[in-house]
Amino acid sequence: MNMNVIEASGLGKRYGSTWALRECSLAVPAGHVAALVGPNGAGKTTLLNLAVGLAEPTAGRVTVLGGRPAGSPAALDGIAFVAQDTPLYKNLSGGDMLHLTANLNRGFDQPYARARLAELGIPPKRKAGKLSGGQQAQLALTLALARRPRLLVLDEPMAMLDPLARHDFMASVLTAAAEDGVSVVLSSHVLAELERVADYLILLSRGRVQVAGDVEDLLATHRMLTGPAAEADRYTGRPVVHARRAEVQAHLLVRAAADDPVPPRWEAHPVGLEELAMAYLREPDAAALPGPARGRNPEPTEATR
Protein backbone atom coordinates (compact mmCIF):
# COMPACT_ATOMS: atom_id res chain seq x y z
CA MET A 1 0.00 0.00 0.00
CA ASN A 2 1.37 3.42 -1.00
CA MET A 3 1.61 6.04 1.71
CA ASN A 4 3.42 9.27 2.48
CA VAL A 5 6.00 9.10 5.24
CA ILE A 6 5.82 12.90 5.65
CA GLU A 7 2.90 15.05 4.52
CA ALA A 8 2.65 18.78 5.23
CA SER A 9 -0.07 21.27 4.37
CA GLY A 10 0.43 24.99 4.85
CA LEU A 11 3.05 24.18 7.48
CA GLY A 12 4.79 27.09 9.15
CA LYS A 13 6.95 27.77 12.19
CA ARG A 14 7.65 31.22 13.57
CA TYR A 15 10.19 32.18 16.24
CA GLY A 16 9.19 35.61 17.51
CA SER A 17 8.58 37.71 14.41
CA THR A 18 10.75 35.52 12.15
CA TRP A 19 9.31 32.70 10.06
CA ALA A 20 11.77 29.78 9.91
CA LEU A 21 9.37 27.85 7.68
CA ARG A 22 6.33 29.15 5.85
CA GLU A 23 3.51 27.76 3.68
CA CYS A 24 5.28 24.41 3.37
CA SER A 25 3.20 21.84 1.53
CA LEU A 26 4.71 18.56 0.37
CA ALA A 27 4.17 14.81 0.36
CA VAL A 28 7.16 12.46 0.61
CA PRO A 29 6.21 8.94 -0.51
CA ALA A 30 7.45 5.84 1.28
CA GLY A 31 10.26 3.74 -0.10
CA HIS A 32 12.67 6.54 -0.98
CA VAL A 33 15.96 8.01 0.18
CA ALA A 34 14.85 11.64 0.13
CA ALA A 35 17.44 14.41 0.12
CA LEU A 36 16.47 17.63 1.92
CA VAL A 37 18.63 20.41 0.48
CA GLY A 38 18.90 24.13 1.15
CA PRO A 39 21.23 26.88 2.37
CA ASN A 40 21.76 27.68 6.04
CA GLY A 41 18.60 29.22 7.47
CA ALA A 42 16.37 27.68 4.80
CA GLY A 43 14.23 25.82 7.34
CA LYS A 44 15.57 22.27 6.94
CA THR A 45 16.10 21.54 10.63
CA THR A 46 12.81 23.24 11.48
CA LEU A 47 10.94 21.01 9.02
CA LEU A 48 12.57 17.87 10.41
CA ASN A 49 11.93 18.90 14.01
CA LEU A 50 8.25 19.46 13.18
CA ALA A 51 8.04 16.08 11.44
CA VAL A 52 9.50 14.15 14.38
CA GLY A 53 7.48 16.03 16.99
CA LEU A 54 10.27 18.10 18.56
CA ALA A 55 8.47 21.36 17.73
CA GLU A 56 4.87 22.50 17.37
CA PRO A 57 3.78 24.26 14.18
CA THR A 58 2.67 27.88 14.21
CA ALA A 59 0.51 27.28 11.15
CA GLY A 60 -0.72 24.31 9.13
CA ARG A 61 -0.20 20.67 9.97
CA VAL A 62 2.19 17.79 9.40
CA THR A 63 1.54 14.06 9.55
CA VAL A 64 3.83 11.06 9.19
CA LEU A 65 3.62 7.39 8.27
CA GLY A 66 0.34 7.56 6.44
CA GLY A 67 -1.50 10.28 8.37
CA ARG A 68 -0.36 9.92 11.98
CA PRO A 69 -0.03 13.26 13.77
CA ALA A 70 3.62 14.23 14.19
CA GLY A 71 4.76 13.66 17.77
CA SER A 72 1.96 11.24 18.63
CA PRO A 73 2.88 7.92 20.31
CA ALA A 74 1.88 6.02 17.15
CA ALA A 75 4.17 8.24 15.09
CA LEU A 76 7.12 8.12 17.50
CA ASP A 77 7.11 4.33 17.56
CA GLY A 78 7.83 4.26 13.83
CA ILE A 79 10.42 7.06 13.52
CA ALA A 80 14.12 7.18 14.40
CA PHE A 81 15.92 10.52 14.40
CA VAL A 82 19.64 11.31 14.33
CA ALA A 83 20.18 15.00 15.04
CA GLN A 84 22.85 17.21 13.55
CA ASP A 85 25.51 16.74 16.26
CA THR A 86 24.89 12.96 16.64
CA PRO A 87 24.03 13.46 20.33
CA LEU A 88 25.60 10.85 22.60
CA TYR A 89 26.47 10.76 26.27
CA LYS A 90 30.22 11.16 25.89
CA ASN A 91 31.02 9.55 29.27
CA LEU A 92 28.99 6.42 28.56
CA SER A 93 30.38 3.45 26.68
CA GLY A 94 28.78 2.11 23.53
CA GLY A 95 27.39 -0.82 25.51
CA ASP A 96 25.94 1.52 28.12
CA MET A 97 24.30 3.57 25.35
CA LEU A 98 22.65 0.42 24.00
CA HIS A 99 21.36 -0.48 27.46
CA LEU A 100 20.06 3.04 28.12
CA THR A 101 18.35 3.31 24.73
CA ALA A 102 16.75 -0.13 25.19
CA ASN A 103 15.28 1.00 28.52
CA LEU A 104 13.89 4.21 27.01
CA ASN A 105 12.19 2.59 24.01
CA ARG A 106 9.40 0.05 23.83
CA GLY A 107 10.99 -1.65 20.85
CA PHE A 108 14.77 -2.00 20.65
CA ASP A 109 16.64 -4.86 18.97
CA GLN A 110 19.65 -5.15 21.27
CA PRO A 111 21.15 -8.29 19.65
CA TYR A 112 21.06 -6.49 16.27
CA ALA A 113 22.73 -3.41 17.79
CA ARG A 114 25.51 -5.41 19.45
CA ALA A 115 26.14 -7.39 16.27
CA ARG A 116 26.29 -4.19 14.23
CA LEU A 117 28.83 -2.56 16.56
CA ALA A 118 30.95 -5.72 16.42
CA GLU A 119 30.79 -5.75 12.61
CA LEU A 120 31.92 -2.12 12.54
CA GLY A 121 34.74 -2.78 15.00
CA ILE A 122 33.40 -0.32 17.58
CA PRO A 123 34.55 -1.43 21.08
CA PRO A 124 31.42 -1.68 23.29
CA LYS A 125 33.39 -0.74 26.43
CA ARG A 126 34.99 2.40 25.02
CA LYS A 127 33.39 5.70 26.04
CA ALA A 128 31.52 7.44 23.24
CA GLY A 129 33.64 10.56 23.67
CA LYS A 130 36.78 8.54 22.92
CA LEU A 131 35.46 7.22 19.61
CA SER A 132 36.36 8.80 16.28
CA GLY A 133 33.85 11.05 14.57
CA GLY A 134 32.93 8.30 12.14
CA GLN A 135 32.48 5.77 14.96
CA GLN A 136 30.29 8.21 16.92
CA ALA A 137 28.10 8.72 13.86
CA GLN A 138 27.84 4.96 13.35
CA LEU A 139 26.96 4.45 17.03
CA ALA A 140 24.18 7.05 16.77
CA LEU A 141 22.94 5.39 13.58
CA THR A 142 23.01 1.97 15.26
CA LEU A 143 20.89 3.25 18.15
CA ALA A 144 18.40 4.61 15.61
CA LEU A 145 18.25 1.51 13.40
CA ALA A 146 17.91 -0.84 16.36
CA ARG A 147 14.54 0.75 17.06
CA ARG A 148 13.47 -0.88 13.76
CA PRO A 149 11.90 2.32 12.39
CA ARG A 150 9.80 2.67 9.28
CA LEU A 151 11.17 6.19 8.78
CA LEU A 152 14.75 7.25 9.47
CA VAL A 153 15.29 11.03 9.72
CA LEU A 154 18.87 12.31 9.53
CA ASP A 155 19.74 15.98 10.08
CA GLU A 156 23.21 16.79 8.67
CA PRO A 157 24.71 13.55 10.07
CA MET A 158 27.85 13.81 7.92
CA ALA A 159 28.73 17.45 8.53
CA MET A 160 31.82 16.69 10.65
CA LEU A 161 32.92 13.47 8.96
CA ASP A 162 35.87 12.91 6.63
CA PRO A 163 35.16 11.54 3.12
CA LEU A 164 35.78 7.90 4.05
CA ALA A 165 33.56 8.10 7.14
CA ARG A 166 30.84 9.80 5.05
CA HIS A 167 31.01 7.02 2.48
CA ASP A 168 30.76 4.30 5.16
CA PHE A 169 27.90 6.08 6.90
CA MET A 170 25.86 6.42 3.71
CA ALA A 171 26.57 2.79 2.80
CA SER A 172 24.97 1.81 6.13
CA VAL A 173 21.94 4.00 5.44
CA LEU A 174 21.48 2.52 1.97
CA THR A 175 21.77 -1.01 3.35
CA ALA A 176 19.01 -0.29 5.85
CA ALA A 177 16.83 1.19 3.13
CA ALA A 178 17.37 -1.77 0.79
CA GLU A 179 17.31 -4.67 3.26
CA ASP A 180 14.88 -3.44 5.91
CA GLY A 181 12.61 -1.26 3.76
CA VAL A 182 13.31 1.86 5.83
CA SER A 183 12.30 5.17 4.24
CA VAL A 184 14.95 7.85 4.72
CA VAL A 185 14.82 11.65 4.80
CA LEU A 186 18.33 13.06 4.84
CA SER A 187 19.33 16.69 5.26
CA SER A 188 22.82 17.50 4.02
CA HIS A 189 24.98 20.16 2.41
CA VAL A 190 27.14 17.57 0.66
CA LEU A 191 25.40 17.61 -2.71
CA ALA A 192 27.91 15.26 -4.34
CA GLU A 193 27.10 12.57 -1.75
CA LEU A 194 23.36 13.06 -2.19
CA GLU A 195 23.59 12.65 -5.96
CA ARG A 196 25.00 9.17 -5.38
CA VAL A 197 22.32 7.98 -2.97
CA ALA A 198 19.12 10.03 -3.19
CA ASP A 199 16.18 9.17 -5.42
CA TYR A 200 13.87 11.93 -4.15
CA LEU A 201 14.64 15.65 -3.78
CA ILE A 202 13.16 18.32 -1.49
CA LEU A 203 14.69 21.75 -1.93
CA LEU A 204 14.03 24.51 0.60
CA SER A 205 14.96 28.15 0.22
CA ARG A 206 13.78 31.22 2.14
CA GLY A 207 11.64 29.00 4.36
CA ARG A 208 9.59 27.60 1.46
CA VAL A 209 9.60 24.44 -0.64
CA GLN A 210 11.03 25.24 -4.07
CA VAL A 211 11.20 21.77 -5.61
CA ALA A 212 9.97 18.37 -4.45
CA GLY A 213 9.83 15.24 -6.56
CA ASP A 214 11.33 12.01 -7.78
CA VAL A 215 14.92 12.69 -8.87
CA GLU A 216 14.56 10.70 -12.08
CA ASP A 217 11.46 12.69 -13.05
CA LEU A 218 13.05 16.03 -12.16
CA LEU A 219 16.19 15.30 -14.19
CA ALA A 220 14.09 14.13 -17.12
CA THR A 221 12.19 17.44 -17.19
CA HIS A 222 15.23 19.75 -17.07
CA ARG A 223 18.01 20.34 -19.60
CA MET A 224 20.98 22.63 -20.04
CA LEU A 225 20.93 24.60 -23.30
CA THR A 226 24.16 26.12 -24.61
CA GLY A 227 24.09 28.67 -27.39
CA PRO A 228 24.82 32.23 -28.56
CA ALA A 229 24.71 34.77 -25.74
CA ALA A 230 23.08 37.32 -28.04
CA GLU A 231 20.04 35.04 -28.41
CA ALA A 232 19.63 34.12 -24.73
CA ASP A 233 16.97 36.74 -24.02
CA ARG A 234 14.97 35.59 -27.03
CA TYR A 235 14.68 31.98 -25.91
CA THR A 236 10.95 31.19 -25.76
CA GLY A 237 10.79 27.41 -25.68
CA ARG A 238 10.50 26.57 -21.97
CA PRO A 239 10.75 28.31 -18.58
CA VAL A 240 14.32 29.33 -17.74
CA VAL A 241 15.33 28.34 -14.22
CA HIS A 242 18.81 29.85 -14.27
CA ALA A 243 20.94 31.62 -16.90
CA ARG A 244 24.70 32.09 -17.11
CA ARG A 245 25.92 34.47 -19.79
CA ALA A 246 29.40 35.11 -21.07
CA GLU A 247 30.42 37.43 -23.90
CA VAL A 248 29.90 34.80 -26.60
CA GLN A 249 28.05 31.89 -25.07
CA ALA A 250 25.10 31.43 -22.71
CA HIS A 251 24.00 28.46 -20.61
CA LEU A 252 20.30 28.17 -19.79
CA LEU A 253 18.96 25.56 -17.40
CA VAL A 254 15.40 25.10 -18.59
CA ARG A 255 12.39 22.96 -17.82
CA ALA A 256 12.03 20.78 -20.88
CA ALA A 257 11.51 17.16 -21.81
CA ALA A 258 14.25 15.18 -23.56
CA ASP A 259 12.32 15.11 -26.83
CA ASP A 260 11.55 18.85 -26.94
CA PRO A 261 13.02 20.56 -30.03
CA VAL A 262 16.30 22.40 -29.56
CA PRO A 263 16.49 25.96 -30.95
CA PRO A 264 18.72 26.42 -33.99
CA ARG A 265 22.40 27.00 -33.10
CA TRP A 266 21.83 25.66 -29.58
CA GLU A 267 22.87 22.35 -27.99
CA ALA A 268 21.05 20.46 -25.22
CA HIS A 269 22.71 18.49 -22.40
CA PRO A 270 21.29 16.46 -19.49
CA VAL A 271 21.69 17.88 -15.97
CA GLY A 272 22.74 16.20 -12.73
CA LEU A 273 21.17 16.49 -9.29
CA GLU A 274 23.81 18.86 -7.95
CA GLU A 275 23.53 21.15 -10.98
CA LEU A 276 19.74 21.17 -10.73
CA ALA A 277 19.73 21.90 -6.99
CA MET A 278 22.27 24.71 -7.33
CA ALA A 279 20.19 26.37 -10.06
CA TYR A 280 17.11 26.52 -7.83
CA LEU A 281 19.18 27.69 -4.86
CA ARG A 282 20.52 30.57 -6.96
CA GLU A 283 17.04 31.40 -8.28
CA PRO A 284 14.60 30.66 -5.43
CA ASP A 285 11.73 32.32 -7.31
CA ALA A 286 12.09 29.87 -10.19
CA ALA A 287 9.65 27.45 -8.56
CA ALA A 288 6.87 29.92 -9.35
CA LEU A 289 7.51 29.59 -13.10
CA PRO A 290 5.10 27.46 -15.13
CA GLY A 291 6.26 23.89 -15.68
CA PRO A 292 7.47 20.88 -13.68
CA ALA A 293 8.77 22.59 -10.54
CA ARG A 294 7.54 19.65 -8.52
CA GLY A 295 7.97 16.89 -11.04
CA ARG A 296 4.99 17.72 -13.26
CA ASN A 297 5.11 17.51 -17.03
CA PRO A 298 6.16 20.82 -18.60
CA GLU A 299 3.66 23.01 -20.39
CA PRO A 300 4.37 25.39 -23.27
CA THR A 301 4.94 28.99 -22.23
CA GLU A 302 5.73 32.41 -23.64
CA ALA A 303 9.08 34.06 -23.13
CA THR A 304 10.15 33.85 -19.51
CA ARG A 305 13.01 36.29 -19.55
pLDDT for the residue numbered 162: 83
Distance, in Å, from the CA atom of 139 to the CA atom of 94, rounded to the nearest integer, reads 7
Cβ-based neighbours of 60, under 8 Å, separated by 6 or more: 8, 9, 10, 11, 12, 23, 24, 25
Tell me the mean pLDDT in the region 188-215.
Answer: 85
pLDDT for the residue numbered 303: 29
Listed by start position, the domains of the chain span: 4-214, 221-288
pLDDT tens-place string over residues 28-65? 999 999 999 988 888 999 999 999 999 999 999 999 99
The highest-level CATH class for domain 4-214 is alpha beta
Tell me the mean pLDDT in the region 97-109.
Answer: 89
The per-residue pLDDT of the chain, averaged, comes to 86
| Residue 284 DSSP code | G
The answer to whether residue 294 scores a pLDDT higher than 60 is no
pLDDT tens-place string over residues 106-131? 889 999 999 999 999 999 999 999 99
